[in-house]
Amino acid sequence: MLVVAVTVAAAVTSGVAAQAAGGQGPAPRGLRVPALAYDDESVTLAWQPPPSASGIVDYRVYRDGVPVGTAGQAAAGAASGYIRRFYAEPGNSAQVRIATTSYTARGLRPSTRYRFSVRALYADGTESAASATIEQSTAAPLKVYNVVDYGAVGDGTTLNTVAIQRAIDACRGGCKVLVPAGTFKTGAIWLHSDMTLQVASGGRLLGSDRAEDYPYHYLLYQYSTDERFYSLINAHTYDYGSLHDIRIVGPGTIDGNGWKQTGVDADGNPLYAKGSASTVSSTGLLAAAQVVDAAALGSPSPYPTRSNLITLRGVTGVYLGGFTAQNPSNHTMSLIRDADVTVDGVNIQTLDVNNGDGVEWINSNGLTVMNTVFNTGDDCMNFAAGLGAAASDDPPAQNAWIFDNYFARGHGAVVLGSHTGAWIQNIVAENNVINGTDVGLRMKTVPTNGGGGRNVVFRDTAIKATTAEAFVFTSAYNDANAAITVEPAATPARFEDVEVDHVTVDGTAGPSIHVVGVAGAEHRDLHFTDVRLLTARPTSISYLAASSFRDVTFDNTPDPWMISNSTGLSFTGATTTDAVSADAASGPRWPAGAAVTVTGATDTSTTLSWPAASDTVAVAGYRVLRDGAVVATAPAGAAGVTVTGLAPALRYSFAVQAVDATGNATRDLLATATTTGTRDKVAPVATGTFSVAPGSAGYTWMRLTWQAATDNYGVAGYVVTANGRRIGRVDATTTSFVATGLTAGTTYRFGLSAVDATGNSTAYATTAQATTLPPYDTGAPAWSSPHPPLTMRAVGPTSATVSWPPARDDKGVTGYRVLVDGVPAGTGDFTPISTTATTTGTTYTVTGLAAGARHTIGIEAGDAMGRWSGPHPTAVVTTTG
């Protein structure tokens, strides 16, 4: 199994040594076969360009030492036609040109090993040195289970859920379930390990438009508070290890039946009603039914409950390739806690589907996305890693390689966030064409989500006609459809270590580069190199630190830089500069020996004076800080300021800074001052209300609110207690507090006191009491040993009695499933999310076996949430007779 996490990282940092002499340039790097990207008659290859790709027009592929074709001429994935047409347009002649870096060798023999290498091809016909050689065997032919043979009818009307699931359940141990030509309507279906689901040419897997055909109670994260409907196609486990090797392939169509179709675009692709929470009843199909049903089930926020098209949770080894995905009720493909996944040649058509994201990579590791068309109603390629403090226990979303794709429409082409809690990292997006999305590279979050995005490479890309910005890095994202409530993260979210290299941009409706950070959590180490903005709007940058712009040119944008509250920026090479960039590149300076003079102290004020600072462009003003907060400001020409609002007979420490217009500041000049008079002995007056905000109790947090207190010299802050223990203090500018680090399922009594600068304190008369939510389920049951024993008690001609040790679970084990040759014994609804069990005990007699035959028996343990372990205790038994 290919581990993308390793190979992508290696390919980013170093090239593969040339394996053959000759050639006019270095060899292509990192030749590989992506995860499960082969079958019984084909093998798909992928590689990265040499370190210097100048002059390369194509790549020639060698099989067993013989040239078999070039990547550009053989490109037949969903994206290749769109990319060719893009470069055929005369208006795109100045755009970065990409050469296809993948190839599918077809017409191969089953179960046969082949050797492959690649050479770069130059315009004069010469070739580079050869890449490293890799070997790959084709698969053996798979036994086919046609859904028609199990009772499915492809008339577009008959509901085939039971028949299709019966075919899936019959396919065990490496086989294929075939959806042939025709339209086969179905509700939610469940895939298992070591199988292929193929929708054939002319075939359509059509989602039912009835909400009752999709189970409810799906949770995106274990700590989620919003329940949803499960997807049309599901593979699902919470033990994160028992599911493996699942392929979903075309060339047919998987249609979610989520919204009404309104027409087709110029390429014949479907267009869907642009729905919303307020219009879903008239624009939606399945979407409308699910919103109505969720409301009847008691959901406080029914609109986000809509199901995805495909959701795979906890699968190692996935290939999604060659099919058309369209019209989901919500998102298209959601990949959660998966590993080693390939998305290849998928045609994603969800334009104007509300929340119709293309591919979501959530807390997963090792992704390759190539040759895919994204024409989506929301973000195209999206990364997510959880929310808030709870996300810190989850793995990051990491190690992804995105290339040779065509991004046609969507809110953002390559998107990190807004769920950033466990970090999104090690992402390479290269060799793509982006034409008409809202944003090219979009990184979005809010500070309370925590984590962020880092080690991102975005290069060798053509961007055209973005309807908003080319690049966005924002801490001010707002999702109107968000329904998950979580404990805020202790450390604010941020984006860092991002490289944007060799990119062209032709057309932006908003700021070309848009950075929105926050004080104390500035985005940093964003490095733009060789970026040409052919036509673009000026930038808008705030709260950015330690970042660089080298050879960043604006062809038609005078005065392109708009910068504030940013430090450590550099503008080098051929970068287009102006007065603002000159100001941002250097900060103000104090004269030698500068110091602050303190004069005129009174009971409630003091005057601070300083010498004038200087700056490359101009000093914009001065600010005075106390305890890290600004307490006074002065204009550029001022030599001092009187600080007011102090209390009598107290010693205060101040820092003075000179700042320029873009946010650079001098070092601090420090000073202390003591007010006159007699110490204040009057405590604040706290007569207002204090309570837990309605609906704010989470698993480990609560939000408290109150009315402000008053004081003769001003309230300095508020102290919060929980069950008599101090848990925090906030300053006087706020009247709310988030109590964090609480224990789930516990009642707390909160107290509040107002404090003035002298230390006088008054407790609010009322206390606030509430109980946190009960503990959430942290996963599937498990055994203390990774290989618990399965004991045979008695074996007969048609039966076997087995026993096993009890499993453990933090919420309690409620039952066990006994699997015979992969099929649960007993009766009932044995889906991966139901609570149906074979037995509640740890001994069971299996009957109805074939005499004198070998059978594999396994045990799964489940809990009250319907979370099942994999079949960890297993044994092979041979019946007598």
Q: Tokens at residue 788, please?
A: 């618990």
Which distant-in-sequence residues (6+ apart) come within 8 Å of 125 by Cβ? none
**Are 409 and 375 spatial neighbours (Cβ–Cβ below 8 Å)?**
yes
Q: Tokens at residue 580, please?
A: 């603002």
Q: Tokens at residue 693, please?
A: 């905000």
Closest CA to 595 of 540, 645, 654: 654
Q: Tokens at residue 411, please?
A: 């809110």
Q: How far is CA 151 from CA 202, 247, 433, 439, 501, in A?
A: 19, 23, 44, 46, 54
**Are 568 and 578 spatial neighbours (Cβ–Cβ below 8 Å)?**
no
Write down the catalytic residue from 192, 236, 331, 411.
411
**Alpha helix positions (H), 14-159:** 71-74, 80-88
Write down the catalytic residue from 239, 340, 378, 394.
378
Tell me the β-bridge partners of 837.
Answer: none
DSSP structure class, residue 562:
-
Q: Tokens at residue 527, please?
A: 């490095």
Is the N-terminal amide bond of 558 cis, ω within 30° of 0? no
Q: Give the C-alpha separation, 279 to 323, whole Å.
A: 30
Question: Tokens 């080298």 identify what position?
Answer: 550
Q: Tokens at residue 71, please?
A: 């990547």
**Are 336 and 313 spatial neighbours (Cβ–Cβ below 8 Å)?**
yes
CB atoms inside a 10 Å sphere around CB 479: 14
The DSSP-derived string for 758-793 is: T--EEE-S--EEEEPPPPPP-S--B-SSSS---EEE
The DSSP-derived string for 134-202 is: EEEEPPPPPEEEEGGGGT---EEEEE-HHHHHHHHHH--SSEEEEE-SEEEEE--EE--SSEEEEE-TT
N-term to C-term CA, the chain: 40
**Are 538 and 556 spatial neighbours (Cβ–Cβ below 8 Å)?**
no
The yes-or-no answer on residue 155 being catalytic is no
Q: Tokens at residue 880, please?
A: 């007598």
DSSP structure class, residue 306:
P
Q: Give the C-alpha separation, 792 to 570, whole Å.
A: 72
Q: Tokens at residue 197, please?
A: 């689901």
Distance of CA 846 to the CA centre of its chain: 44
DSSP structure class, residue 873:
S
Closest CA to 517 of 567, 468, 482, 560: 567
Which distant-in-sequence residues (6+ apart) come within 8 Å of 697 by Cβ? 770, 771, 772, 773
* Amino acid letter for position 177: V
Return the C-alpha torsion angle 413, 341, 162, 356, nearest 10: -10
Q: Give the C-alpha separation, 732 to 713, whole Å.
A: 12
**Are 505 and 437 spatial neighbours (Cβ–Cβ below 8 Å)?**
no
Q: Tokens at residue 79, please?
A: 């994206």
Q: Phi and psi of 544, rounded to 5°?
A: -120, 140
Return the C-alpha torsion angle 8, 9, 14, 19, nearest 10: -40
Closest CA to 186 of 146, 217, 150, 153: 153
Helix (H) or strand (E) holding 286: helix 286-296
The yes-or-no answer on residue 411 being catalytic is yes
Report, as residue numbers or ranges, the catalytic residues. Answer: 378, 411
